[in-house]
Amino acid sequence: MKVTLARVDERLIHGQVMTAWCKKCWIKTIILVDKEIAQDEFMISVLEMSAPAGVKVIVKSPSDAVALLANDSSDDSTLLLFKDINNVDELVKHGYPLKELNIGNVGSSSIRKPITREVYVSQQEKEILRNLSQSGVNVYIQKLPGDNSVDIMTKI
């Protein structure tokens, strides 16, 4: 599979934002990387029905996603989608050579502080993002394809 976009968006597969990215990047497959959702058959069914027409959805844990990506040689444009930053960290720790990471939406919580209107991060998530950036991953914030991208390091 040809990973065209890796994106963190806690809203997962939803409406106009996801449709815009799928069109822009010619996405044929979405691999949702999340160890909890990978065990929830009902949620998997909901996500499969939520995908834009013609887009296949696969839900895998980080370790299973690495294995799938390593063994699939198709040229399908693929979106790696993450509900949270921790699953990105696990994917990389399992050996996936991530090159870029788009941060779209990470909501607020009692331990997260805002870095933009749509992105809130905890101290632990900041550390993960710093480590990714320092290891050569281009980590940027960009809600929609037409928006300007912002280097995450300018915000954390």
- The pLDDT profile of the chain, 156 residues, written as one tens digit per residue, is 799 999 999 999 887 778 899 889 999 999 999 999 999 999 999 999 988 889 999 999 999 999 999 988 888 899 999 999 999 999 999 999 999 999 999 999 999 999 999 999 999 999 999 999 999 999 999 999 999 999 999 998
Q: Residue 55 has what pLDDT?
A: 92
What does the alpha-carbon distance between residue 7 and residue 102 come to, in Å, rounded to a whole number? 5
- 38-58 core/surface letters (b: 16 or more CB in 10 A; e: else): beeeebbeebbeebbeebebb
pTM of the model: 0.94
pLDDT of residue 52: 86
Question: How far is Cα of residue 51 from the mean position of the Cα atoms in its chain?
Answer: 15
Note the pLDDT of residue 14. Answer: 82
Nearest to 23 by CA among 150, 144, 156: 144
Q: What is the pLDDT of residue 57?
A: 95
Q: Which of 6, 7, 14, 100 is catalytic?
A: 14
Active site residue 94: no
How much is the pLDDT for 1? 79
